[in-house]
Structure 1
Amino acid sequence: MASNLPPPHQQQPTQHINQPPQTYQPEKNNRARNSNTNMNNFGQPSTPPVNLYYRPDSPVPPSSRTSLDSNDQLFSGFSADNTASPYYGSINKVATSDPKSDPQISRDTQEFMNIGDDPQKKDKNLKGFLKNKKKACCFLCCGISIIIAAIMIPVAVFVIAPAIAQGAVTGSKLHFSSANLTNLTEDNFVMKVNGKVTDTGPMAATIDVPDGVEVSWNGNVLGRLPLDTISAAPFVGADIDSSQTFTILNKTAFGEFNKFMLTSKEFTWHLEGSANVRAAGLSLKGIKLIKDVTMNGMANFPDVSIKSFDAPSDDPAGGITIQLLSIMVNPSPIGVELGDLEFDVLYNNQKIGEVTASNVILGTGANALNLNGRLIPQNTSEGLAAVSELFSKYIAGENANTTVLAKTVKPSKNNNNNSTTPISWLQSAFVGTTLSVVLHGAQNLTVINSVDIKTMDLAFNKDNAYSPTAQSDALSVAFKIPFGFQLKMEKIAQDITIYGGSYALATLSTSYTDANGDSSIGKIDSKIPPTPFSVIKGAEPNFQDFSEHLTMDSSVVMTMKGSANSIASTSIGEVEIKGIKFIVDTQLQGLQGLQVKPATINSLSVTGGTKDYMIINLSVTLFNPSNVKISMGDVILDLYFQGQKVGQVLMNNFILDRGSNTINLVAHFGPNGDKAIAAGRILLDAFMKGDSNTVGIQGSPQSTEIGSLQKALAGLKLSTSMPGLKSDQPILVRSRFTINFGSVFTKQGTASVDAYNPLDTTIKFLKMKATITYKGQVIGTLDQDLTSSPIAIPPKQVMTTRDLNLTLQISLTAIQSLFAGISGDLATDITSTIVLAIGDYVTEIDYAQNQVPTGLGHGSNQK
């Protein structure tokens, strides 16, 4: 069949036919995707892909639709903007609704498709067609695979792999667990970094940053840090253990960063660099590495404390040498080899010292710094007050918040560095850094070891029964300060609570008193100025017991608990150390009932009397073995003889000093009751005759009006020898009598005596009964009531009485006495009972005197 088609060079381009029937329209989707443009990636009109299985007279098989959809989805994924891939060219689909009627179809094609009705030809043509169709399909599939490979391999190598690598690098996380800076110089330092890279993806990869990373902070480039090659494991990442030289590119910015890092809780480094990544056999270059790394800053070292503090000596440069062990906790993972540091030490905004630390390597966590320096001399009251308070808190066990001000940092001299010049960027960051440092107070420190009260004065009166005044002129304190520098005590004050056993007894607070002593001998001699010994309310019964034990026992132990303040001279100035706590036992020597040595009556003088008692002035020696001097006010003790109370002993404003005391007492002799009167008469008779007798002196609850001493004095019992009356001449100096011739018959005569008054007061004879004997024979008696006209004899004088009626006993002996009297050789014995008035006190005595010179004669005013 002849072809009606023109020659090839005259043929027109094949025109696109209409889309296949509505039963399957895949090209609609493609046209929809390309609705914004009708051009493919090669600049040609976009045509839908051919459907090799399309027949105009039959619907598209489902398998063909599926294949077409699959191809459509497969190729659509190569472009993010839904346009055809540059490596994909569409095969134009040629279709006709009727091939036979289409004039543009060649004749051969029409003959091939015009099978006719010949069965053999029809069968032959069908077999050939099917065979050619299978070949075409095979060639087409191979071609498509080659085309896909040709497209995907470049895409995978040049698009997908770099994108995956960049995504893995970008999505990974970089963390520095520690960073240590060593070998610091002006331009660089060695930075050893430990950390981890995580979230690197499912493939093993090796990341190399050949030029290192540029490190910046706060928008300023700090320097460049090389990084070691990172080998990341799938789903694990990689550990970083790198030691590289960090090159400083901007010293000013790096100094500012370091100052920020020292004072802030955290900081962020920005890292940028270009990485080479090797993964899955591919080597990819130019991968951008951009990371922010946040680390904890040093936060101004919030936990810095001084664990030990010593001041071993005075410093040659002036002041006091100090040695400290400081613990500085670094919360940052960054450690720095700082070198030698210098600090100023401040307290209460006053510079009190200077310290240095050598070869300091600041690591993460707790760092021990040995600081050495000195406390500098203070010339202002504020400076002295600051040092005083610091010492006081340390000794009292209290913490003190000091301030350490960074002054200088410079490299330490070592084998690699002989320079001591500060590094500019480190110095600018370090200088002015202020640290709050806690100086922990000393624990279990005993400064005052003992208190020896060599003397103690206690002054009582009825108005301060439970607040006597205490005073000591000899107080010795043994002390030891925990330092070696010289300290000379100048004044001392105390605030003390005194315990008697387990109970708080009294308080004693003293003001500043002169003191003498120094730390080299560890002894302070001081005094207690007159200070109230204030009994604690409710402890009055306990204080009564205390007073009783002090009076009766050999010693009394008391516990002194409190604090002392001192003013001391040191090489930094005069400091006041307050709150020196102490608890010591001390003791007072007791009075032992005043029986260590017996009381001695040195002299006795009868000076008068009242109607109730005779007044006797006594000089008594009492020995006080205690180291306590007690002022008791007025004290009244009872006077006993033969178990009977015969009077009282009064001690007005009684002061019992240490050792021997010669005390002037007043005794009131005035027994009451028959037994007491009888005992008192015996005592008085013996006294008048000059005989000594043992008397007792006892206290009672009524001995004092001071309630705190009543129990103590009630237990007091003394005994002493009361001497007899001492006189240079007898009471009866001479006696005389008269008789006449009638006396022989009447047995009456007269008698008189020359009487001497040995007392220091006038005595009056109110009644007199006497018996005169000679050689044992009574020669006369007299019984005369003189009440109406008493015979008064002034003190220390001799008076001749008037004639008194004498009853004679006529006997041979009486006649012999008469002749003896005439010759002047008569000496008689006189026994008398006399009622006397001593002052206004009337008493009766029995008095006997032997060998009284006797003669003839009349009494006074009689002839």
Structure 2
Amino acid sequence: MSSHSNEHLTEKHDTTSHDSISDADLPYAPEEVDYIDEKEPWEEYDHEAEKRVRFYQTKRFWIRCVIILIVILAIFIPLLLLVILPKVVQSIVNGSHMTMSQLNMTDATETGMKVSLTGGIGNAGIFPATIVFPEPIVVNWEGKQLGSMLMSSVKASGGKASIVDETTFTIIDKDAFTDFAKQMLSIESFVWTLNSKVEVKAMGRTIKNINLTKNLNMLGMNGFSAVTINSFTMPGDAPNNGGAYVELITSMNNPSPIGMVLGTMVLDMFFNGTYLGQVTATDAVLVGGSPSPLTLKGTLFRQTNQTDLDNVGVLMSNFLAGKVTMTSAKGVSVKPDGVNAVSWLSNGLMALTLNVPLQSPTPLNVIRDISIKDMGMVFNNATPYIPTASSNTVTAGFKLPFNITIGMQNVSNTMSIVYGGKTLGDITAAVWSAANSNIPDGLIVFSLPPSPLVVQEDAHAEFDQFVADLTVKQEQTFIVTGLANAISSTPMGTITLTGIPFNSSVTMAGLNFNAINAAVTNVVVSGGNSDYIIMNQLVNLPNPSNLSVTGGSVLLTVYDKVTDQFLGELSIPSLKVVPGANPTPTQFLFHPTNATLRDQFLSEYLIGSNFPLKVVGSSDSTSIVELQQAMSEVVIASTAPGLNPPPNLVTGGTAVSTLSTLFGDRQTTTTVQMINPLATDLLVTGQVTQVSWEGNFFGTINAVYQQTVPANGAVTSPDLILQHPSGLDFGIFLTTKFVPTYPLIALGGAMVPFDLDVLMSVLVGGPNGYPATISYKQQQQIMTKMTIL
């Protein structure tokens, strides 16, 4: 190389020595420096562009970062694994929450029990993990250690985990656990605190010695506040007069997630301070969080104290009536294996007072099919719409839900009558009545003593129609509802059952007045005045029903059935209709508006004929307001009989003829003996009598006079003139036929039978009596004689 080149190298070397920079201190190799320093002038522009490269785009920056990262990781990873991660896991465990949906206890002993768990863990972190319980979990309650249990590992994913496990719970503090058992059965809720050490396996690591402290909020059994009775029966009598067997099927609602196998459980039953008896459940199981069926069997003891008997009566009455009765049960013992009692469980149960609402799950309808064999109603003006009702025989079917010996000794009741869908009134039995009961046939027979029937204010019209329908119709159906009371002999003692409801339809035969024929007997014309004739008689009112009605005086209107014309009024001084014929004393006030009908009636009465009648009522027939509607619907058929046997009003007479009878005025002086068959005086004011002999007209008596014939008496009339027919024919008849037939007429007289056709004007009742004309026919032998004078 030239010397110039050597100088250049020497200069280069000197420069390097002058700067005193080692190769190690340079970011680039020396060769690169020589290349840069020895750039040509035309490369100046490229050198300036290279100086504008960013620092993080250089290799030096990234080499330094890698070195720093390696240093940091070397320090942080042990720190993370050994210090930070356990704290994070502990924080996650602390922030998680635990629930228990089911905890069932079985095989209880004095030291522990088996438990099966169902629950969950929430808020358990975002990473999948396995929680391991290497140590028992200690269960604390109110600062006391109750017991401990081992748990199987739990896998968490997505922040939650499920707990399903079976383990053994070991009691640590028996006294504390006994106190807890007492409280758990009674309180609404409690808190368990769980303590333990756990291991968490996550991200390939196992973090040990993590503290687990969890408050577990649990529902208590709350005294089984929603106990229901599904069935309550008494299968039979206990032996040796010891009471009655009892069987209850209950539903024990357990709101707590804790379930128990109780085995044999014994309870004492109480009501209102009365010790009722003892019941036992076998194979009893309480299911957590749901109702549990429980069958209790035992004995209701026989009571001797009256207070206790009264309480049993109330209990039984309420049950039969469908009412709720709050009874109570106190625990006696619990034997999970059926033999050995567990003290903490028995003590817990004995501290519990179980409230049991005793009520039939379905209406019992104990009393049914009521039959009123007879019924009486007495109406009184002094107490309108409060008649007196009674019955000698009421039969009721009954069905008790018990198979025990029971007898009804006395009964009373409050009864409402419902008709046409409306409650008419109430009958409250005034006194207890004796009863006979036939338990096998389910019948009870009793009477209803005279008791007020109080008609409701808004049911007066409906009650009136009810009475009317019973009066005029063949039968009627109505409903009786109410409450019955009974003094009953039972295996628990003689108790009073009260307020037993009943509801039954009753069909009763009605009086059916509009279909009867009221026969009239014993007619006696007892008086008369200017307004009417008074006839006393018995009117039979046949009553085919067992209904009795008493209702004061009644005035009915009487019509001739054939012509429908008015005859008078029928007065019933005291209406009383009982089952049967009912011969009722009445008065017939006879005063027809039609004179012809008047005379016809009296004439037919005297000759023994029957006269058809129609007896009609109206709202004015009675002053008893409850009977006015009934009377307005009454139409009774009847028949008025005549005198039987019919009497001869003329019992005898005399007829004295003279020659003038034949040759002069043809008159015969006549007298008659007549009787009065009536029980009242009869004033005769005149008569027109047609006299015939063997079909031959013999003459006429046409006389006006006044003569009183006393009641049921007899008189001889004054001299009456028999006017014979004029003309030759009658003379020939006398001389050729009549006298030859009775030749003794001229020799002293002979008894001659004459036919009499009488129209007699009378005043029935005497001088101030009722006027009438009697039409009367009879044949009568009259002493007939002829004298010369």
User: Structure 2-normalised TM-score?
Assistant: 0.83
2: CA distance, partners of 1:489 / 1:857: 93
Change (3 A) 1:160 1:853: same
Counterpart code for 2:229: I
Query: Does 317-326 or 167-176 show the bigger shift?
Result: 167-176
Equivalent residue for 2:327, pick from 402, 423, 427:
402
2: CA distance, partners of 1:503 / 1:681: 52
Equivalent residue for 1:385, pick from 287, 292, 310:
310
Structure 1 portions without partners, runs of 5+: 1-117, 414-419, 859-863
Q: For residue 749 of structure 1, report the CA deviation from its aligned partner.
A: 5.2
Change (3 A) 1:243 1:503: closer
Equivalent residue for 1:123, pick from 5, 12, 16:
16
2: CA distance, partners of 1:452 / 1:608: 47
Residues 407 and 439 in structure 2, CA contact (< 8 A), matched pair in contact too: yes
Equivalent residue for 2:417, pick from 498, 502, 526:
498
Match of 1:755 in 2: 674
Match of 1:76 in 2: none
2: CA distance, partners of 1:528 / 1:666: 34
Residues 756 and 799 in structure 1, CA contact (< 8 A), matched pair in contact too: yes
1:436-515 mapped onto 2 (5 Å cutoff): 436-464=355-383, 466-511=385-430, 512-515=432-435
Q: For residue 254 of structure 1, report the CA deviation from its aligned partner.
A: 0.9
Match of 1:309 in 2: 232
Equivalent residue for 2:152, pick from 216, 228, 231:
228
1:646 aligns with 2:567: yes
Q: Which has the higher contact order (CA 8 A, sep 6+)?
A: 2
Q: For residue 783 of structure 1, report the CA deviation from its aligned partner.
A: 3.5
Task: Name the SS of the counterpart of 2:222 in structure 1.
Answer: coil
Equivalent residue for 1:556, pick from 468, 476, 479:
476
Counterpart code for 1:561: T
Deviations 1:712-749 (A, max 9, x none): 33444444443332468632121113455677546555
Counterpart code for 2:654: R
Match of 1:269 in 2: 192
2: CA distance, partners of 1:148 / 1:622: 128
Residues 396 and 442 in structure 1, CA contact (< 8 A), matched pair in contact too: no
Residues 307 and 439 in structure 1, CA contact (< 8 A), matched pair in contact too: no
Match of 2:762 in 1: 836
Q: For residue 279 of structure 1, report the CA deviation from its aligned partner.
A: 4.9
Change (3 A) 1:140 1:610: closer
Match of 1:725 in 2: 643
1:687 aligns with 2:580: no
Match of 1:65 in 2: none
Query: Does 678-687 or 206-215 show the bigger shift?
Result: 206-215
Match of 1:713 in 2: 631
Deviations 1:413-442 (A, max 9, x none): 4xxxxxx22112222222120122333444
Match of 1:55 in 2: none
1: CA distance, partners of 2:507 / 2:64: 123
Match of 1:823 in 2: 749
1:593 aligns with 2:513: yes
Match of 2:521 in 1: 602
Match of 1:36 in 2: none
Residues 732 and 852 in structure 1, CA contact (< 8 A), matched pair in contact too: no
Deviations 1:216-275 (A, max 9, x none): 222222222223234445x53543333222221211111111212222222222333344
Equivalent residue for 2:779, pick from 850, 853, 860:
850
Counterpart code for 1:290: T
Deviations 1:305-334 (A, max 9, x none): 222322333333732322222222222222
Query: Does 472-481 or 796-805 show the bigger shift?
Result: 796-805
Calculate percent identity across the aligned residue pairs: 29
User: Structure 1-normalised TM-score?
Assistant: 0.76
1:227-376 mapped onto 2 (5 Å cutoff): 227-233=151-157, 236=159, 238-279=161-202, 285-316=208-239, 318-364=242-288, 365-376=290-301
1:651-690 mapped onto 2 (5 Å cutoff): 651-672=572-593, 676-690=594-608
1: CA distance, partners of 2:658 / 2:507: 81
Change (3 A) 1:134 1:231: farther
Q: For residue 524 of structure 1, report the CA deviation from its aligned partner.
A: 1.4
Match of 1:108 in 2: none
Deviations 1:1-53 (A, max 9, x none): xxxxxxxxxxxxxxxxxxxxxxxxxxxxxxxxxxxxxxxxxxxxxxxxxxxxx
Counterpart code for 2:117: V
2: CA distance, partners of 1:616 / 1:202: 117
Q: For residue 163 of structure 1, report the CA deviation from its aligned partner.
A: 4.0
Residues 330 and 349 in structure 2, CA contact (< 8 A), matched pair in contact too: no
1: CA distance, partners of 2:715 / 2:238: 91
Q: For residue 366 of structure 1, report the CA deviation from its aligned partner.
A: 1.9
Task: Name the SS of the counterpart of 1:584 in structure 2.
Answer: strand
Query: Does 428-437 or 141-150 show the bigger shift?
Result: 141-150
1:219 aligns with 2:110: no
1:801 aligns with 2:717: yes
1: CA distance, partners of 2:647 / 2:161: 129
**What RMSD, in angstroms, separates the aligned Cα atoms of the two structures?**
3.6
Deviations 1:384-409 (A, max 9, x none): 33333333333333333332222211
Counterpart code for 1:850: Q
Q: For residue 186 of structure 1, report the CA deviation from its aligned partner.
A: 0.9
Query: Does 165-174 or 731-740 show the bigger shift?
Result: 165-174
Match of 2:708 in 1: 792
Match of 2:348 in 1: 429
Counterpart code for 2:712: K
Q: For residue 381 of structure 1, report the CA deviation from its aligned partner.
A: 3.6
1: CA distance, partners of 2:86 / 2:618: 116
Aligned residues: 727
Counterpart code for 2:191: T
Deviations 1:463-495 (A, max 9, x none): 456443222112111222233223322233333
Residues 646 and 670 in structure 1, CA contact (< 8 A), matched pair in contact too: yes
Residues 358 and 412 in structure 1, CA contact (< 8 A), matched pair in contact too: no
Deviations 1:585-633 (A, max 9, x none): 222212333545x333333222221222222222343322222222232
Counterpart code for 1:406: G
Q: For residue 533 of structure 1, report the CA deviation from its aligned partner.
A: 3.6
Counterpart code for 1:653: S
